[in-house]
Amino acid sequence: MSSDDDGPSEQEVRDALRALRDDDEPSLDHVLTLVVASVLHEKALVPGEVVDAISAQWAIEDDLANGGMDQVVWNIGHERARQVARSFRAVGAIENADLVDRLSAVLEQQQQQPDGDAEPVTRFMAFRRAVSGPFFGVPELEAELGEVVLEFVLERVDSLPDPDGPLGRRAQ
């Protein structure tokens, strides 16, 4: 990425598109370059499902690193968690999508039960016990998502913009 913190340069975007379209050792880094550029440009440079899934991953990464997927679902709530699961499922990250859906269902059910005056930490620990967290026996999100996102883009490579064509203006 360019050092000016304005996202990838036009040349970096064109190089990423070229690598993906020309099968020139395509990588997840190329896809991520295009995800960031898609957010900054008027024109989507990768399928919207990819932008949504990667954006969801970035939105939850701190909670995920801090306490696991059960903490993510606890912190964002079952409705938002189901949106995250849908974005993962749309690109093929099925195992993590299923996990988030399962955790969301348990959280929703738990929230419908009276909890008395239980402190938030006590309620969270009860949730964690109910879901047998924080280790769930599914692939790490970053690994599963990284693999399927690259495949998803490569399967739709013909829909990517021409690396030598117009990229659209940067959004202001």
Domain boundaries defined on the chain: 10-159
Using an 8 Å Cβ cutoff, are 150 and 27 in contact? yes
Residue 42: pLDDT over 90? no
Cα–Cα distance measured from residue 159 to residue 45, given in angstroms and rounded to the nearest whole number: 9
Confidence of residue 152 (pLDDT cuts 50, 70, 90): very high
* From 1-5, 10-14, 38-42, 83-87, the region with the lowest mean pLDDT: 1-5
Q: What is the pLDDT of residue 114?
A: 80
**Of 82, 86, 87, the residue nearest 50 (C-alpha):** 87
Residue 3: pLDDT over 50? no
Cα–Cα distance measured from residue 144 to residue 151, given in angstroms and rounded to the nearest whole number: 11
pLDDT in tens, 4-25: 467 899 999 999 999 999 877 9
pTM for this entry = 0.90
From residue 73, how far is each of 36, 70, 107, 134 by CA, in Å? 25, 5, 8, 11
pLDDT in tens, 106-129: 999 998 888 766 788 999 999 999
